[in-house]
Amino acid sequence: MIRIVKMTFDPTKVDEFLNNFNQVKDKIRSFEGVEHLELLNNNTHTNIYFTYSIWKSEEYLEKYRHSDLFKNVWAKTKPLFIEKAEAWSLNSLVKL
């Protein structure tokens, strides 16, 4: 299962987000059920970021979303937004 989260940050808070993300990315990557985690940046709007993650199943994603790790990460990340985050859970239909 693929999870994409769009995050639009206050431009003055981007460095804070990146510092926080770099501190926790390995913990997230090693969370049970995570197969891939990537941080993407919009080419035009440099304060817009996306996380692209692949999970073994939706159950693993839900375990993460209810974990202390997620709660701590989100508590530091959410106040930095200037727009509400958007998230999509997707299934891959064609592997390239």
The residues spanned by each domain of the chain are: 2-90
In order of 19, 71, 96, the CA distances from 34 in angstroms are 21, 17, 20
Q: Does domain 2-90 match CATH 3.30.70.100?
A: yes
Q: Which two tokens stand for residue 83?
A: 């727009």
pLDDT digits 0-9 by tens, 31-82: 999 999 999 999 999 999 999 999 999 999 999 999 999 999 999 999 999 9
Q: What is the pLDDT of residue 92?
A: 87
Q: What is the pLDDT of residue 73?
A: 96
Helix (H, G, I), strand (E, B) or coil at 57: coil
Q: Which residues contact 25 (CB under 8 A, 6 or more apart)?
A: 37, 39
Is pTM beyond 0.85? Reply is yes
Q: What is the pLDDT of residue 95?
A: 76
Lowest mean pLDDT, pick from 8-12, 76-80, 91-95: 91-95
d(CA 45, CA 23): 24
